[in-house]
Amino acid sequence: GNSVTQMEGPVTLSEEAFLTINCTYTATGYPSLFWYVQYPGEGLQLLLKATKADDKGSNKGFEATYRKETTSFHLEKGSVQVSDSAVYFCALSPNTGNQFYFGTGTSLTVIP
């Protein structure tokens, strides 16, 4: 079956610290992988995505690399800002494209 497991939060970091949020997946075939971000009181926004193995998605200083050998798609940022405080969701869409599977979300708080 298809599923996503992501690192439990909450995560609290100081400004300019390095961020890693782990995400691993189970899927048949070759899914696409996504990271979404949800700011307080808002819906989810696409942060980045990768559609095939070894692809790197990047946006706003965030990066994630599609690792088929470890079935992972970890989110990283070299220097977080207070404005990055949000909940981050890892997701996958199987190669049939008919459904989306979300992780449980990881809450990040960045303190000045």
The site for another protein (CB under 8 A) is made up of 29-32, 34, 36, 41-46, 49, 51, 87, 89, 91, 93-98, 100, 102-105, 107
Nearer to another protein, 32 or 73 (CB): 32
- Give the CA distances from residue 86 to residues 8, 28, 53, 81, in Å, rounded to whole numbers and listed in that order: 14, 30, 27, 11
Write down the least CB distance from residue 78 to another protein, Å. Answer: 25
Q: Cβ closer to another protein: 5 or 72?
A: 5
DSSP string, 85-98: -EEEEEEEE-TT-S
Residue 83 main-chain phi, psi, to 5 deg: -70, -10
CB of 53 to another protein, least distance (A): 12
The tokens 């190669």 sit on which residue?
Answer: 95
User: What is the closest distance, in whole angstroms, from the C-beta atom of residue 10 to another protein in the complex?
Assistant: 9
